[in-house]
Structure 1
Amino acid sequence: MAGVLRRSPVSGLARRSIGFVDVLAQSVSAVAPSAAAITIPSIVAAVAGNGTLWAVVGALLLSLLVATTVNQFTRRMSATGSLYTFVSKGLGTGAGFVTGIAMFVGYAFVAMFSLTGCGLFLATLLGSFLPGIQDSTLLVSVSIVALAAVCFLVLARGIRLSTRVMLIVESASVAFILVLTIAMIARQGGGIHWSVLSLSGTTPGEFATGTVLALMAFVGFESASTLGAEARKPFATIPRAIVWTVVASGALYLLSTYSQLVGFSALGRSLTSSTAPVNSLADAYGLPWMGVLLDASIATSFFACAIASTTALVRVIFSMARERLVSPALGRTHPTLKTPIVAVAVAVPVLAIVPVVTIALGGGVWEAMGVLLVASAAGYITSYVFVCAAAFVFLRRIGELGFWVGLRAIVAALLLGVGLVVYLIDRSASASSAGVWIFLAIISLGTIVYRVMRMRRPWLGSTIGVYDETILQDLLGGLPADPVPPGDPIGRR
């Protein structure tokens, strides 16, 4: 049939092989709600003060604006490149490439952050049985390498295995956090503690900064869209997975934030008075044994996040390789496992080496994690700004721009743009300021590289933005899929 391809532009992946649960596991694990629910409240409280709970509410609403805007694309195309591909369809290839670089920073740095965090909490867990060992940076470094090796094996074996591992690990972690949170609320007595809902003493600037910091707990919810080619019903399952992830994670964060605020208020202390607030509350309310399980829960959540973030990262690299923006070799897939094996083999060692070298140079584990998190969050927020702006332009171009859809896209883009500036200014004055400069340097370098590439390869403008399209195999009576011939990664012959 004229106009129908024999092969998908992203052929080689396990096309139409995973269901809604697997897609949901990808987004949930990338968000790492268990780890975020424990750590984010105190980070936000340090800035927002009495407005902490409302800052989390603001971040939830803003994330929903972005999620529903992203879904304007996920309901219309299945793209392994995710936001990078979507932006190229709305704002052009230049903006798409910058978004791809921002996503690369977001996924890669949060994967390194998660590997380091998992190694740190595993060391802390061992320290409960072998006092003193938790201070060993060598143990953390060895753990990072071992965890990266496990990630490689899981990712190389196939998308179904990786999503099932993520689902089991994160589900167990979330279940424990819920039990712990409910137990602490029960120990604090019934009724609503209205004092934590007060905004007294919180300035608009502090509230805005707190909201942006709380937004870090939600980043990664869009990663399900990188599985567009592999999902069975991508136009139905991916939009639902994205929205459900934001709603479920937000509910967990609100519950955790509320319990921590009420708990410390009952003790006559501030949430920011402890470096490990949940552990302190567990000890104060007669639940000291929860500390060991808490460390294990956070470690497993970090591990699931590392797998999910790396899964999304290698698919963005895979998409760029199919478009010849990076080496075409990175677009090769395993003939039987249907995984982007070359991209996995290149990316995973780098994700392990960078944090290990940083720690070895004397940067410290917590300090390295702070820098990685700042750069990652900046990358995510930048890509969200671009995709929201792109949605407005894209829908208008195809004649499907509705008033409320357009309003959501514009409001989200403006709020995120302001939030990004606030975030970068705030973090540039913190101990993790290196993350800001690393992010800006990578974005600037990526922009220069793109300009040079377009000058030397003007045809790139017509190859960027490929996504999974209908092929003859999808049609009733269609032909079976052909293997991809050498030199034809797009599959248009």
Structure 2
Amino acid sequence: MGDQAEGVLTGDGVKTGTAGAAELKRGVLPLWAVFGVAIGVLAPASTLALAIGVVAATAGALSWLTWALTSVVVLGFAGGIAWLAMRFTSTGGLYGLTSHAVGSAGAFPVLSFQLISHVVAGPACVLGGAIYAKAFLVRIGVGDGMWILPLCCALITALITFMSYREVKVSAKALLAVELVTVGVIVVLLAVVLFSAPGGVVDDRQFDFSGNHFALSAVLAAAGFAVFSMAGFEHAATLGREARNPRRAIATAVVGSVVFVGVLYVVASYIVVLGFSDLSVLASTTAPLDALAEANGVGWLGYVVDLGVSVSFIASSLGIMAGTSRTLYTLSRDGLAPRALSTIHATQRTPIVAVAVLGVVYLLVSIAGTLLAEPTTSYGVLGTLVGYLLVAAYGVTTMSALIYAVMKRTLGAGIVVFATLTVLGMAIMYYYSFNPFPREPYAAVAWIFFLTVAATLAAYLVLRVRRSPALDRIGLNDRTSHDEEGV
């Protein structure tokens, strides 16, 4: 980018004025920090605590196979995104990469799906963190009043908003630290379960592929939910300015984080099922790790797990806010959002106005989720909508990478494999999500998704027919010297 206008420095140390008056710091994040953002948003500890049991309830003893298949599909998404990240850098995330590759035809729908999903995902994670924070407080005897959940939501939102206002490197350290500690505690618990199993470490139930125990439809149906649990790695792609050696760092973080959690979930799923002789008990419990801790004589770990999972959700919401605020920053620089959203704090060099706006949204939506329905239901509804939208965004991004490779005559085996996995994965995920059609409240989520897709396509066609300059500005201010020449 060229030189920017200085803008006006307020008494609070905030630069305002022309959009882009100050810029994000460049090259300050090492590889581990970019990887930390990806891992933090994926929040493996929260998935180990919640999603493993949900998948097992559908897929049964072969739930490890669900996670294995899902990991391969998501790796296709991640591979396509990493392929573009090796060629372009972005603060807009997926929509920025897609804009560089194929222009507004791909970038506009990705922008719509990505932004809506991220705005919804943040409050969902705040709500998840509040649910487990309350569980921890109840364990230590604080009580079970109606005010606890809303208060937890408010405190968590305030914390992540403050941390997002600080330099991203500080947030990245926090993301990686809390996830490693929490996952470490859960791994200790899983090791206790594995080596305490009465029948040994080999569970014949989990390798029985006979017709009486193996139902491919059940395995694939659960894969849809599992995809939701592996979403979020793409937030690393918003660090194109702040990452050191961004092409290598972002591509490595995107693919590496998916491989890491994929292996972790397969192994953890096997051990969790091993620990439950009666799978109906696993399907009915809301806290399988707590139940395993009690059954294996380490009930005290339940305290650590509850607190750690809450922190994991907080870390995830922090990473989502970091990425989404930079997407809003880029949109503002492109003239597609209010100019104020591109305001950068003069000392912290973070998009302070975008962070503040997201903080308000997180607060209102998460508290509403505690008051309008059962918190776990609200979390499931929000998370399901996020999953539908993100898979669409992943798919369009990967197919855009394939189109770019064809146009530039750089088509190779890698991008072909990634695109093939993407097409198959999307077909499987959507087919088994909507067939049979879900019941309420998830039926409403499905219709919201369909309407979002239809509205996005209609909006694009209207803007294209009117030849709106807004389409041509998508990604305009998101190019750097790291991008391929001539694009």
TM over 0.5, yes or no?
yes
Residue type of the partner of 2:146?
T
Please point out which of 331, 344, 347 is paired with 1:336: 347
Alignment of 1:5-84 (within 5 A): 5-6=2-3, 12-84=23-95
CA 1:328–1:457: 2 relative to 1, 3 Å: farther
The equivalent residue for 1:145 is 154
Q: Could you tell me the percent identity over the aligned residues?
A: 24
Q: Deviations over 1:272-319 (max 9, x none)?
A: 132222211221222221211110111010000010011111111111
Name 2:306's counterpart in structure 1: 295
Quick one: structure 1 residues 424 and 374, their matched pair in 2 at CA, closer, same or farther if it must change by over 3 Å? farther
The 8 Å contact of residues 385 and 417 in structure 1, kept in 2 or not, is answered as no
Deviations 1:112-137 (CA, angstroms, capped at 9, x unpaired): 11101111111111101226x23x33
Task: Give 1:152 shift.
Answer: 1.1
Once the 2 structures are TM-superposed, how far is the Cα of residue 19 of structure 1 from its aligned partner? 0.6
Aligned CA RMSD, in angstroms, stands at 2.3
SS of residue paired to 1:428: coil
Is 1:460 matched up with 2:470? yes
Unaligned 5+ runs, structure 2: 6-18, 483-487
1:373 offset after TM fit, Å? 0.8
- Structure 2: how far apart are the matches of 1:232 and 1:38? 33
The CA deviation at 1:268 is 7.2
Letter in 2 for 1:225: A
Residue 132 of structure 2 aligns with which residue? 121
User: Taking structure 1 as reference, are residues 72 and 404 closer, same or farther at Cα in structure 2, changes over 3 Å only?
Assistant: closer
Return the offset for 1:433: 3.3
Deviation, 1:452, is 4.7
Distance 1:16 1:376 in 2: 30
Cα distance per residue 1:408-454 (max 9 Å; x no partner): 21331332244134324467325433333333344444444445555
- Work out which of the residue numbers 264, 267, 273 in structure 1 matches 2:284: 273
Aligned to 1:77, the other structure's residue is in SS state coil
Matches within 5 A, 1:314-329: 314-329=325-340
Q: Structure 1, residues 69-89: CA drift from partner, whole Å, max 9, x if none?
A: 111111011111111122233
Question: In the alignment, which residue of structure 2 is the partner of 1:482?
Answer: none
- The aligned residue for residue 249 of structure 1 is 261
Is residue 428 from structure 1 mapped to residue 438 from structure 2 by the alignment? yes
Question: Which piece of structure 1 moves more, 61-70 or 119-128?
Answer: 61-70
Q: Distance in 1 between matches of 2:66 and 2:260?
A: 17
**1:142–1:95 CA distance, 2 compared to 1 (3 A):** same
Give 1:470 deviation, angstroms: 2.0
TM-score (norm 2): 0.89
CA distance in 1, matches of 2:116, 2:49: 24
**How many residues end up aligned between the 2 structures?**
464
Question: Given residue 248 of structure 1, which amino acid in structure 2 is its aligned partner?
Answer: F
Per the TM alignment, residue 13 of structure 1 is displaced from its structure 2 partner at its CA by 0.6
Moved more, 452-461 or 66-75: 452-461
**1:367 paired to 2:377:** yes
Contact in 2 for aligned 1:374/1:435 (Cα 8 Å)? yes
Confirm or deny that 1:282 pairs with 2:290. no
Matches within 5 A, 1:91-240: 91-130=102-141, 133-134=143-144, 136-188=145-197, 190-200=200-210, 201-240=213-252
Task: Report the counterpart of residue 470 of structure 1 in structure 2.
Answer: 481
**Which structure 1 segments of 5+ residues have no match?**
472-493
| Matched position secondary structure for 2:172 | helix
The answer to whether the Cα contact below 8 Å between 2:98 and 2:397 also exists between their aligned partners in 1 is yes
Q: Output the CA distance in 2 between the equivalents of 1:355 and 1:143.
A: 10
Query: Which amino acid in 1 is paired with 2:84?
Result: F
How big is the shift at 1:221? 1.3
Alpha-carbon shift at residue 44 of structure 1 (Å): 1.2
- Label 1:268 to 1:90 Cα distance change in 2 as closer, same or farther (>3 A): closer
Instruction: Assess if the C-alpha contact under 8 Å between 2:342 and 2:353 holds in 1.
Output: yes
* 1:216 alignment partner, SS class: helix
- Per the alignment, in what secondary structure is the counterpart of residue 137 of structure 1? coil
Are the counterparts in 2 of residues 55 and 208 from structure 1 also a CA contact under 8 Å?
A: yes
Task: Sort the Cα spacing of 1:427 and 1:350 in 2 relative to 1 into closer, same or farther, 3 A.
Answer: farther
Instruction: Return the offset for 1:254.
Output: 1.6
What does residue range 345-360 of structure 1 map to in structure 2 within 5 Å?
A: 345-360=356-371
- Partner SS for 1:250: helix
